[in-house]
Amino acid sequence: MAAKKYVSPTISLDPLDPDFHRADIEFHGVDHSGASFEAAVFLNNPGADETTAKEPEQGYAGSFHIFGHGGCLGDAGHCDVTGPPRPYDPRPAHPLTPAKKVVIATDAVRRALGEGPDVTVAVVPKVTSGTGRVDLEDVLKFERLAIVTYR
Protein backbone atom coordinates (compact mmCIF):
# COMPACT_ATOMS: atom_id res chain seq x y z
CA MET A 1 0.00 0.00 0.00
CA ALA A 2 1.44 3.37 -1.02
CA ALA A 3 1.31 6.33 1.33
CA LYS A 4 -0.97 9.24 0.40
CA LYS A 5 0.75 12.04 -1.48
CA TYR A 6 0.09 15.75 -1.15
CA VAL A 7 -0.57 18.10 -4.07
CA SER A 8 -0.74 21.81 -3.29
CA PRO A 9 -3.20 24.26 -4.71
CA THR A 10 -1.68 26.49 -7.39
CA ILE A 11 0.93 28.82 -5.90
CA SER A 12 1.75 32.13 -7.59
CA LEU A 13 5.44 32.74 -8.22
CA ASP A 14 4.87 36.44 -8.99
CA PRO A 15 6.04 37.61 -5.53
CA LEU A 16 9.44 35.93 -6.00
CA ASP A 17 12.43 38.03 -6.98
CA PRO A 18 13.53 36.51 -10.32
CA ASP A 19 17.19 37.34 -9.60
CA PHE A 20 17.48 35.03 -6.59
CA HIS A 21 20.67 33.25 -5.60
CA ARG A 22 18.95 30.39 -3.79
CA ALA A 23 15.40 29.06 -3.50
CA ASP A 24 14.04 26.77 -0.78
CA ILE A 25 10.79 24.92 -0.29
CA GLU A 26 10.06 24.99 3.43
CA PHE A 27 7.70 22.63 5.23
CA HIS A 28 6.55 23.94 8.62
CA GLY A 29 4.95 21.92 11.39
CA VAL A 30 5.98 18.51 10.08
CA ASP A 31 4.68 15.64 12.22
CA HIS A 32 7.38 13.06 13.00
CA SER A 33 5.51 10.99 15.57
CA GLY A 34 4.68 8.12 13.21
CA ALA A 35 6.52 6.15 10.53
CA SER A 36 9.89 6.96 8.99
CA PHE A 37 9.70 8.11 5.38
CA GLU A 38 11.35 9.92 2.51
CA ALA A 39 9.32 12.76 0.99
CA ALA A 40 10.16 13.39 -2.68
CA VAL A 41 9.15 16.89 -3.81
CA PHE A 42 8.10 17.60 -7.42
CA LEU A 43 7.15 20.91 -9.02
CA ASN A 44 4.44 21.08 -11.69
CA ASN A 45 3.98 17.31 -11.72
CA PRO A 46 0.77 16.56 -9.78
CA GLY A 47 0.74 13.04 -11.21
CA ALA A 48 4.05 12.12 -9.57
CA ASP A 49 4.06 8.92 -7.54
CA GLU A 50 6.55 6.46 -6.01
CA THR A 51 7.58 5.25 -9.48
CA THR A 52 8.31 8.74 -10.88
CA ALA A 53 12.00 9.21 -11.67
CA LYS A 54 13.80 11.74 -9.50
CA GLU A 55 14.92 13.71 -12.54
CA PRO A 56 14.70 17.43 -13.34
CA GLU A 57 12.56 16.63 -16.39
CA GLN A 58 9.94 15.17 -14.02
CA GLY A 59 9.94 18.32 -11.89
CA TYR A 60 11.98 16.73 -9.09
CA ALA A 61 13.11 19.42 -6.65
CA GLY A 62 14.65 17.29 -3.88
CA SER A 63 13.67 15.24 -0.84
CA PHE A 64 13.50 15.44 2.91
CA HIS A 65 13.55 12.56 5.34
CA ILE A 66 11.70 11.90 8.58
CA PHE A 67 13.07 9.52 11.18
CA GLY A 68 9.74 8.75 12.81
CA HIS A 69 9.15 7.91 16.45
CA GLY A 70 6.95 4.91 15.62
CA GLY A 71 3.90 5.93 17.60
CA CYS A 72 3.37 6.49 21.29
CA LEU A 73 4.56 3.74 23.60
CA GLY A 74 3.90 5.56 26.90
CA ASP A 75 0.92 6.28 29.11
CA ALA A 76 -2.04 8.33 27.89
CA GLY A 77 -0.93 11.93 27.37
CA HIS A 78 2.75 10.98 27.32
CA CYS A 79 3.21 12.06 23.70
CA ASP A 80 0.98 15.15 23.79
CA VAL A 81 2.90 18.29 22.84
CA THR A 82 1.51 20.93 25.18
CA GLY A 83 2.78 23.98 23.32
CA PRO A 84 5.90 25.98 22.67
CA PRO A 85 8.42 26.47 25.47
CA ARG A 86 8.12 29.62 27.51
CA PRO A 87 10.43 32.49 26.55
CA TYR A 88 13.83 32.19 28.26
CA ASP A 89 13.12 28.60 29.33
CA PRO A 90 16.46 26.80 28.84
CA ARG A 91 14.91 23.34 28.74
CA PRO A 92 14.66 21.67 25.32
CA ALA A 93 11.30 21.54 23.58
CA HIS A 94 9.15 18.41 23.75
CA PRO A 95 10.72 15.67 21.55
CA LEU A 96 7.59 15.54 19.36
CA THR A 97 7.44 19.27 18.68
CA PRO A 98 6.59 19.55 14.97
CA ALA A 99 9.67 19.97 12.77
CA LYS A 100 10.69 22.30 9.98
CA LYS A 101 12.15 20.70 6.86
CA VAL A 102 13.88 22.59 4.04
CA VAL A 103 14.46 21.38 0.49
CA ILE A 104 17.04 23.48 -1.37
CA ALA A 105 15.33 23.72 -4.75
CA THR A 106 17.09 26.52 -6.62
CA ASP A 107 17.25 24.88 -10.05
CA ALA A 108 13.73 23.42 -9.80
CA VAL A 109 12.20 26.80 -8.89
CA ARG A 110 14.08 28.46 -11.77
CA ARG A 111 12.67 25.82 -14.15
CA ALA A 112 9.17 26.39 -12.76
CA LEU A 113 9.51 30.15 -13.25
CA GLY A 114 10.45 29.48 -16.88
CA GLU A 115 7.25 27.44 -17.34
CA GLY A 116 4.89 30.13 -16.11
CA PRO A 117 3.75 32.33 -13.23
CA ASP A 118 2.25 29.50 -11.13
CA VAL A 119 3.45 26.23 -9.66
CA THR A 120 2.05 23.19 -7.90
CA VAL A 121 4.04 21.23 -5.35
CA ALA A 122 3.56 17.46 -5.14
CA VAL A 123 5.07 15.60 -2.19
CA VAL A 124 5.31 11.82 -2.53
CA PRO A 125 6.11 9.99 0.73
CA LYS A 126 7.76 6.59 0.64
CA VAL A 127 7.59 4.76 3.97
CA THR A 128 10.94 3.29 5.00
CA SER A 129 9.99 1.98 8.45
CA GLY A 130 6.96 1.76 10.70
CA THR A 131 5.32 -0.12 13.52
CA GLY A 132 1.87 -1.52 14.14
CA ARG A 133 1.12 1.61 16.18
CA VAL A 134 1.22 4.02 13.22
CA ASP A 135 -0.80 4.74 10.11
CA LEU A 136 1.37 3.74 7.15
CA GLU A 137 -0.94 5.38 4.61
CA ASP A 138 -1.37 8.90 6.05
CA VAL A 139 2.25 9.58 7.06
CA LEU A 140 2.78 13.04 5.59
CA LYS A 141 1.33 15.71 7.87
CA PHE A 142 2.45 19.33 8.00
CA GLU A 143 0.93 22.73 8.74
CA ARG A 144 2.10 24.75 5.73
CA LEU A 145 4.67 25.09 3.00
CA ALA A 146 6.43 28.13 1.60
CA ILE A 147 8.70 28.85 -1.33
CA VAL A 148 11.34 31.35 -0.29
CA THR A 149 14.22 32.94 -2.19
CA TYR A 150 17.45 34.60 -1.17
CA ARG A 151 19.52 37.19 -3.01
Write down the pLDDT at residue 23: 98
Each residue's pLDDT tens digit, 90-102: 988 888 999 999 9
Residue 145 identity:
L
Are the CB atoms for 35 and 68 separated by under 8 Å?
yes
- Quickly state the pLDDT bin for 84 (edges 50, 70, 90): confident
Alpha-carbon dihedral angle through residues 60, 44, 25, 68, given to the nearest 10 degrees = -60
User: Residue 143's closest CA among 96, 111, 99, 102?
Assistant: 99
CB atoms within 10 A of CB 120: 16
User: Measured between alpha carbons, how far is 37 from 22 in angstroms, rounded to an integer?
Assistant: 26
Distance CA 139, CA 68 (A): 9
101-138 tens-digit pLDDT: 999 999 999 999 999 999 999 999 999 998 888 899 99
- Per DSSP, helices labelled H in 48-87 are none
Is the pLDDT assigned to residue 1 strictly greater than 70?
A: no
